[in-house]
Protein backbone atom coordinates (compact mmCIF):
# COMPACT_ATOMS: atom_id res chain seq x y z
CA UNK A 1 0.00 0.00 0.00
CA UNK A 2 1.22 3.51 -0.77
CA UNK A 3 0.10 6.27 1.57
CA UNK A 4 0.64 9.99 1.22
CA UNK A 5 1.69 10.63 4.82
CA UNK A 6 1.57 14.39 4.34
CA UNK A 7 -2.05 14.32 3.15
CA UNK A 8 -3.04 11.22 5.16
CA UNK A 9 -4.62 9.42 2.21
CA UNK A 10 -4.17 6.16 0.33
CA UNK A 11 -2.68 6.57 -3.14
CA UNK A 12 -2.47 2.89 -4.14
CA UNK A 13 -3.80 -0.26 -2.52
CA UNK A 14 -2.08 -2.84 -4.74
CA UNK A 15 1.28 -1.53 -5.98
CA UNK A 16 3.73 -3.80 -7.77
CA UNK A 17 7.48 -3.42 -8.31
CA UNK A 18 9.25 -3.91 -11.63
CA UNK A 19 12.45 -5.68 -10.63
CA UNK A 20 13.98 -7.30 -13.70
CA UNK A 21 15.66 -5.42 -16.54
CA UNK A 22 12.95 -6.40 -19.05
CA UNK A 23 10.06 -5.61 -16.71
CA UNK A 24 11.59 -2.19 -15.99
CA UNK A 25 12.13 -1.56 -19.70
CA UNK A 26 8.59 -2.59 -20.65
CA UNK A 27 6.93 -0.98 -17.61
CA UNK A 28 3.20 -0.72 -18.24
CA UNK A 29 3.35 -1.66 -21.94
CA UNK A 30 0.73 -4.38 -22.31
CA UNK A 31 -0.34 -4.13 -18.65
CA UNK A 32 -3.07 -1.49 -18.39
CA UNK A 33 -4.32 -0.76 -14.88
CA UNK A 34 -7.93 -1.54 -15.74
CA UNK A 35 -7.10 -5.03 -17.04
CA UNK A 36 -4.82 -6.24 -14.23
CA UNK A 37 -5.15 -6.23 -10.46
CA UNK A 38 -2.73 -3.45 -9.48
CA UNK A 39 -2.88 0.33 -9.22
CA UNK A 40 0.74 1.49 -9.18
CA UNK A 41 4.02 0.41 -10.77
CA UNK A 42 7.15 1.06 -8.68
CA UNK A 43 10.50 1.59 -10.38
CA UNK A 44 13.39 1.62 -7.90
CA UNK A 45 16.67 3.43 -8.64
CA UNK A 46 15.07 5.36 -11.49
CA UNK A 47 14.83 9.03 -12.47
CA UNK A 48 13.39 8.82 -15.99
CA UNK A 49 10.59 6.94 -17.76
CA UNK A 50 9.11 6.59 -21.23
CA UNK A 51 5.56 6.04 -22.42
CA UNK A 52 6.48 4.52 -25.77
CA UNK A 53 3.89 2.09 -27.16
CA UNK A 54 1.45 2.84 -24.32
CA UNK A 55 -2.25 3.39 -24.99
CA UNK A 56 -3.28 5.60 -22.09
CA UNK A 57 -1.98 8.55 -20.09
CA UNK A 58 -0.53 7.98 -16.62
CA UNK A 59 0.34 10.07 -13.56
CA UNK A 60 3.97 9.93 -12.48
CA UNK A 61 5.53 10.78 -9.11
CA UNK A 62 9.30 11.03 -8.73
CA UNK A 63 10.59 10.41 -5.19
CA UNK A 64 13.98 10.99 -3.57
CA UNK A 65 15.68 8.60 -1.12
CA UNK A 66 13.60 9.96 1.77
CA UNK A 67 10.44 9.11 -0.23
CA UNK A 68 9.61 12.79 -0.69
CA UNK A 69 7.95 13.80 -3.95
CA UNK A 70 10.51 15.83 -5.91
CA UNK A 71 8.65 15.91 -9.22
CA UNK A 72 5.30 15.03 -10.76
CA UNK A 73 3.76 14.67 -14.20
CA UNK A 74 -0.01 14.73 -14.50
CA UNK A 75 -1.58 12.68 -17.29
CA UNK A 76 1.66 11.96 -19.15
CA UNK A 77 0.50 11.00 -22.63
CA UNK A 78 1.70 8.03 -24.69
CA UNK A 79 4.92 8.51 -26.66
CA UNK A 80 6.33 11.01 -24.13
CA UNK A 81 9.34 10.96 -21.80
CA UNK A 82 9.74 12.30 -18.28
CA UNK A 83 12.92 12.98 -16.30
CA UNK A 84 13.50 14.31 -12.80
CA UNK A 85 17.05 14.92 -11.61
CA UNK A 86 17.52 13.87 -7.99
CA UNK A 87 14.81 11.21 -8.10
CA UNK A 88 15.60 7.73 -6.77
CA UNK A 89 12.25 6.07 -7.37
CA UNK A 90 9.34 6.47 -9.79
CA UNK A 91 5.69 5.65 -9.16
CA UNK A 92 3.36 5.25 -12.14
CA UNK A 93 -0.37 5.62 -11.36
CA UNK A 94 -3.58 5.67 -13.37
CA UNK A 95 -4.21 9.16 -14.74
CA UNK A 96 -5.94 11.40 -12.21
CA UNK A 97 -4.47 9.79 -9.07
CA UNK A 98 -2.20 12.71 -8.17
CA UNK A 99 -5.04 15.24 -8.42
CA UNK A 100 -7.53 12.97 -6.63
CA UNK A 101 -5.14 12.65 -3.67
CA UNK A 102 -4.10 16.34 -3.78
CA UNK A 103 -0.47 15.21 -3.90
CA UNK A 104 2.15 17.95 -4.19
CA UNK A 105 5.89 18.30 -4.48
CA UNK A 106 7.35 17.95 -0.99
CA UNK A 107 4.80 15.39 0.25
CA UNK A 108 6.23 12.35 2.05
CA UNK A 109 4.99 8.94 0.91
CA UNK A 110 4.97 5.69 2.87
CA UNK A 111 5.60 2.62 0.71
CA UNK A 112 4.62 -0.67 2.30
CA UNK A 113 6.88 -3.34 0.79
CA UNK A 114 5.52 -6.30 2.74
CA UNK A 115 5.13 -9.03 0.13
CA UNK A 116 2.76 -11.59 1.64
CA UNK A 117 1.78 -14.77 -0.23
CA UNK A 118 -1.39 -13.24 -1.70
CA UNK A 119 0.50 -10.23 -3.09
CA UNK A 120 3.18 -12.50 -4.58
CA UNK A 121 0.54 -14.61 -6.34
CA UNK A 122 -1.10 -11.46 -7.77
CA UNK A 123 2.27 -10.22 -9.00
CA UNK A 124 2.96 -13.52 -10.75
CA UNK A 125 -0.37 -13.22 -12.59
CA UNK A 126 0.69 -9.97 -14.25
CA UNK A 127 4.25 -11.23 -14.85
CA UNK A 128 5.83 -8.41 -12.90
CA UNK A 129 7.76 -10.85 -10.72
CA UNK A 130 8.90 -14.35 -11.52
CA UNK A 131 8.91 -17.05 -8.82
CA UNK A 132 12.73 -16.90 -8.73
CA UNK A 133 12.68 -13.17 -7.99
CA UNK A 134 10.74 -13.60 -4.77
CA UNK A 135 13.47 -15.21 -2.71
CA UNK A 136 14.01 -12.41 -0.20
CA UNK A 137 10.60 -10.94 0.38
CA UNK A 138 10.67 -7.17 0.56
CA UNK A 139 14.22 -7.04 -0.82
CA UNK A 140 14.29 -4.87 -3.94
CA UNK A 141 17.94 -5.48 -4.78
List pLDDT tens digits, range 55-82. 889 999 999 999 999 999 999 999 999 9
Q: Domain boundaries in the chain?
A: 2-125
pTM of the predicted protein model: 0.75
Class of domain 2-125: mainly beta
**Alpha-carbon distance 34 to 45, whole Å?**
26
The candidate with the shortest Cα–Cα distance to 138, out of 124, 118, 120, is 120
Specify the range with the lowest mean pLDDT, choosing from 28-37, 76-85, 114-123.
114-123
At residue 51, does pLDDT exceed 90? no
**What strand order describes the sheet that includes 40-44?**
15-17, 40-44, 89-94, 58-63, 69-76
User: For the residues 117-131, what does the mean pLDDT come to?
Assistant: 51
DSSP H helices, 1-141, are 21-26, 97-100, 117-125
Amino acid sequence: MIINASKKCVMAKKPVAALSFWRRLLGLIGYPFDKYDFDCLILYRCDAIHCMFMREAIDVAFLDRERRIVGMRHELKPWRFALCRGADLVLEFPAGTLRRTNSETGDILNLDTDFNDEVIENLKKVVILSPETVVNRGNME
